[in-house]
A = this chain, B = another copy of it.
């Protein structure tokens, strides 16, 4: 047994996109995946355990059993990755807190705002660290944007546009994300909208004070799949979020533009290693310099490596937080609560025919 953190995963079994990302991101961060309940179907769970290199006796049938068994081992888990449907986030997190295990959770934090507040309280009483996978905030050029704005390089922020478009639900596809019982009150607004909302606040360093939303749905879905949200920031800036799962042909198009009174910043996931800074009469493309190319993979800054490197970054920061470090760039429960408030206010605003509502 070495001294590396030991991770369990809940969910992330065969057919899961995010499970493998967790696995590799954690590994790059020096974390070993050693246990899990990868699926409610034992056969599938076993298959995932084999793929992940997890010993079969640590592939559990049940979450509660896992925490119990792992607590009894000298080399038991020290952290858990929650990659289940939204409605299972809270119960899993509460068990982890009880077991004193640190929590790295997929977004959104929970299925409802009430659950997020519940979780915040439980975390405050326990000793588990908590990290939330708002992945886009871990891209180096997104953090560069935040730093440049904080340094005043574009002056006072006036306008923020965030666009997040996927085509995954353009047809009659379904899944747990379209089921209010598993996803919560928000569909696209919880899945994509929370990413956009978090980016808007993260990059500007400002809180959204009010929103007005217009949520649509198609293909007979019970939850929204195509959303427009207008924002007003506490500092006076305006914003627009477009989040859609019916954007035919878009795989994962996420981008933002921030306009200030002395410059602007544009970022697009399609060229994630690049940040466009407009200042004076010039446009400057910021990006990893040649030197970064030589950085070895554990850093993996700027080698166009999709979601894995940002996950590795978040996991590395999570390890630091678990060790008692401050929760700096890593999103935590505060961001979790705010984003659930965003979801609930957006659903409410739209249901009222488009009204400005405060997010407190």
Contact = CB atoms under 8 A, between A and B. Distances in A.
A51 B296 CA distance: 11
A36 to B, nearest CB: 15
Contact of A305 (B161, B246, B279, B305): B305
Contacts of A171: 261
Sort chain A's interface into a size bin.
35 or more
Contact of A15 (B288, B296, B303): B296
Determine how many copies of this chain the complex contains: 4
A206 interface: no
A218 B28 contact: no
A226 interface: yes
Contacts of A214: 212, 230, 238
Contacts of A270: 271
Contacts of A353: 356
Nearest to A303: B306
Interface stretch (A104-112, A247-255, A313-321): A247-255
Interface in A283-323: 283-298, 300, 303-309
Interface of A: 2, 4, 14-17, 19-21, 23-24, 27-28, 30, 32, 51, 53, 154, 158-159, 161, 166-168, 170-171, 212, 214, 216, 218, 226, 228, 230, 238, 240, 242, 244, 246-252, 257, 259-264, 270-272, 278-279, 281-298, 300, 303-309, 353-356
Sort A-B residue pairs by CB-CB distance and give the 4 closest, nearest first: A20-B297, A249-B278, A305-B306, A281-B289
